[in-house]
């Protein structure tokens, strides 16, 4: 069982974000779209695209926190709840009506047993009343991934209506494949002039190797600075760098999960050491189908690790 201190330490580590180049480029693109909408008084929206585990949801969370939570303002006419940003996760098998209902609940409206047209009217009224400037729909591909073509067309038409009526910035966060559906509709594609991409990390070029090494180095510094260890393994050692990459296949979410599990093991052992065996243990606890070997990479030699990578190129 984790002690309160261990829980707090791991919670803080989980909130740590590395501003790597892919992350920075995505945030810069989103910020430009928001500024463009504000300056031109015309909506410029964003597709935030990437494979699972590349950091899309974290960007949505950071953007929501940065823009600000809901707050109450009082005037002689009464009380108004301001919500500058609405962030909503689209569930699997979602319908337009179900999504509108979810957004309304984010705006504080919970009695939504009405027709879609009435719900939409209420939605746009509340968006204006709450001074909402940004709508984020995370995992938006769930609206279109399993539908027949007429259904997808209906979703695309609804998104166009949302953008035209809302007049703020809409951010659709989803898989790369969802971009194809947007681009098939010329009018819809024109409403998303900004595209932000997140990728799995790679070791294919020296530049990509530097990016990955910088990422791991940032986690290593955070571990050294924030964890109560007297002895810490060197994550940026070539052997460990390759082992981390081989286990995670460059996926940031899996890297975070692996480090979290290994750190938990080290903290609970309570000997103030973070050692290679902690990573080796964590690798036995986490299943990841895309890892580059079924062997435990933290138990392999440098030559074996290099052989696995060269074989994959």
Range of the domain at 141: 21-197
For the chain, what is the domain count? Answer: 2
Q: Give the whole-angstrom CA distance, residue 90 versus residue 56.
A: 14
- Let me know whether 71 and 213 are in one domain: no
Q: Is 144 left (phi over 0), alpha (psi -120 to 50) or beta?
A: alpha
Helix axes 116-129, 149-166, angle to 10 degrees: 30
- Let me know whether 217 and 190 are in one domain: no
- The pTM of this model reads 0.90
- Let me know whether 26 and 174 are in one domain: yes
pLDDT of residue 191: 96
- Let me know whether 69 and 159 are in one domain: yes
pLDDT of residue 197: 98
pLDDT of residue 310: 82
pLDDT of residue 77: 52
Residues of the chain with pLDDT under 50: 1, 312-313
pLDDT of residue 108: 86
Q: What is the CATH number of the domain that holds 26?
A: 3.40.50.300
**Phi/psi of residue 290, each to 5°?**
-95, 5
pLDDT of residue 150: 61
Closest CA to 262 of 304, 239, 292, 229: 229
pLDDT of residue 1: 45
pLDDT of residue 4: 54
């Amino acid at each position: 069982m984790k002690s309160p201190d261990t829980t707090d330490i791991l919670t803080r580590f989980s909130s740590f974000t590395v501003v790597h180049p892919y992350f920075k480029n995505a945030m810069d693109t989103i910020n430009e779209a928001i500024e463009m909408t504000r300056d031109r008084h015309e909506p410029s929206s964003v597709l935030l695209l990437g494979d699972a585990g590349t950091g899309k949801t974290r960007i949505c969370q950071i953007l929501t926190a940065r823009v600000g939570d809901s707050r109450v303002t009082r005037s002689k006419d009464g009380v108004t709840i301001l919500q500058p940003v609405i962030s909503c996760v689209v569930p699997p098998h979602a319908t337009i009506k179900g999504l509108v209902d979810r957004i309304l609940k984010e705006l504080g409206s919970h009695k939504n047993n009405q027709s879609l047209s009435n719900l939409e009217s209420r939605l746009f009224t509340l968006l204006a009343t709450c001074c909402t400037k940004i709508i984020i729909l995370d995992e938006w591909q769930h609206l279109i991934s399993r539908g027949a073509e007429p259904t997808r067309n209906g979703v695309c038409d609804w998104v166009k209506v949302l953008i035209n009526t809302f007049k703020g910035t809409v951010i659709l966060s989803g898989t790369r494949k969802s971009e194809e559906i947007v681009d098939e509709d010329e009018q819809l594609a024109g409403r998303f002039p900004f595209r932000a991409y997140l990728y799995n990390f790679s070791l294919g070029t020296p530049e990509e190797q530097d990016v990955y090494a910088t990422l791991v180095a940032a986690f290593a510094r955070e571990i050294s600075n924030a964890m109560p260890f007297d002895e810490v393994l060197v994550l940026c050692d070539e052997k460990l760098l390759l082992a981390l990459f081989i286990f995670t296949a460059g996926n940031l979410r899996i890297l975070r999960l692996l480090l979290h599990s290994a750190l938990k093991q080290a903290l609970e052992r309570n000997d103030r050491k973070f050692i290679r065996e902690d990573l080796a243990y964590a690798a036995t606890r986490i299943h990841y189908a895309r890892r580059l070997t079924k062997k435990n990479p933290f138990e392999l030699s440098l030559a074996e690790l290099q052989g696995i990578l060269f074989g994959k190129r």
